[in-house]
Structure 1
């Protein structure tokens, strides 16, 4: 199945309309990801169809939590997931992609340039330790398969504004992991919502937790 069909069909199942110009950007992103994967450790997935579902559509499962024009921080962005797919479909957001690995930051900067993404920057920084390089006052911080929920929350909460949201993306065991981790979430956040989703086409299970910042942390 062509990338375009996978994106439009899977997007529709998630209630998303992925427009032709967005598909073009995803195709370029996929091509560059495959090209660069042989040079640096970006992803073990190197076929376009699986990239479309397991990376692009997976990233878009958090889109409903992100309003147009929001300021968004992607923690441990790696190859740009979920931040860049979200930016493609929400072009009005202001996006910062943070990762501690220089080669991955270089790759993300190349993607930003190739896709002509405005109000987007990639920074070499570790959230929680190098916050000065990242900034602060974000509406949303998101982390995809980076660390356990309490660690993500401790790193992310100081970087979002009061009332801001921290999104933690997990895999198939996410619901069970969250049961064990919820009591360890630091003060200053309140459990907002969680949901388990099945990715279209692949049937893979995903779990998303949303925390809201309730006071200065």
Structure 2
């Protein structure tokens, strides 16, 4: 399914990353199952092998290049969809304790089957982030949260920051055009502080990773319910 191993290695190398045979084999299983499952459940518009390699796998793993995740850290991927960025990250960092959250049960079903095929351990949660982060067993329990989504920084912060512990980090994988400063007020209200904004090129496409550090507890009233969030940004 994926381009042959040597070519895939060269693609990773061009992005400043390394790829082992074992990692490649798991990513190949991932790609095959993604395309197969996509025929019955819409998971991605990207189905061409080289595009999967670049725009799903390498794009996801770039987070490890710019964010230091200590050994055995807990990570929740909020609105994970087809498992990006966290399942490729788990393939490269098996020590990470992974939780996958999505609001659509059909995606969770896919992820359970995928992780079984990949022999990956993870916790799967079906629900909305704004509801799940209110539960004591998940609120401020994670070292890291991440999201690779088109939503703006204010909305993503409200959904993701409540999950992380004080001194934990939230990593948002963004396109190049959003003015991140417009989300700064939301980050501050939610107990965070924007620590870094890393802009980079990935095969001539601009990317940005924004890292928020949790410096104080998120006020209990956040996140608001979905209708309030959509009606007015923080």
Q: Same fold (TM over 0.5)?
A: yes
- 1:78 aligns to 2:94 (yes or no): no
- 1:42 aligns to 2:43 (yes or no): yes
Q: Please, which runs of 5 or more residues in structure 2 have no aligned partner?
A: 219-234
CA displacement 1:82-112 (0-9 Å, x = unmatched) = 0100000001100001000011110011111
Pairwise mapping of residues 104-119 of structure 1 onto structure 2 (< 5 A)?
A: 104-118=107-121
Relative to 1, partners in 2 of residues 1:2 and 1:210: Cα closer, same or farther, differing over 3 Å? same
Contact in 1 for aligned 2:82/2:110 (Cα 8 Å): yes
1:196 is displaced (CA, Å) by 1.1
Contact in 1 for aligned 2:169/2:214 (Cα 8 Å): yes
SS of structure 2 residue aligned to 1:69: coil
Corresponding residue of 1:123: 125
Corresponding residue of 1:181: 183
Corresponding residue of 2:153: 149
TM-score (norm 1): 0.91
Q: Which has the larger radius of gyration?
A: 2
Q: Distance in 2 between matches of 1:89 and 1:129?
A: 30
Relative to 1, partners in 2 of residues 1:134 and 1:9: Cα closer, same or farther, differing over 3 Å? farther
Q: Distance in 1 between matches of 2:128 and 2:111?
A: 15
Q: Distance in 1 between matches of 2:20 and 2:38?
A: 27
Aligned residue among 52, 69, 94 for 1:91? 94
Higher relative contact order (CA 8 A, sep 6+): 1
Pairwise mapping of residues 132-211 of structure 1 onto structure 2 (< 5 A)?
A: 132=135, 135-136=138-139, 137-173=141-177, 176-187=178-189, 188-199=191-202, 202-211=203-212
Contact in 1 for aligned 2:132/2:138 (Cα 8 Å): no
SS of structure 2 residue aligned to 1:142: strand
SS of structure 2 residue aligned to 1:92: coil
Moved more, 59-68 or 23-32: 59-68
SS of structure 2 residue aligned to 1:151: helix
Corresponding residue of 1:102: 105
1:215 is displaced (CA, Å) by 1.0
Moved more, 137-146 or 19-28: 137-146
Contact in 1 for aligned 2:102/2:125 (Cα 8 Å): yes
1:6 is displaced (CA, Å) by 4.6
Contact in 2 for aligned 1:162/1:213 (Cα 8 Å): yes
1:38 is displaced (CA, Å) by 1.1
TM-score (norm 2): 0.84
Q: Distance in 1 between matches of 2:137 and 2:117?
A: 22
1:134 is displaced (CA, Å) by 7.0
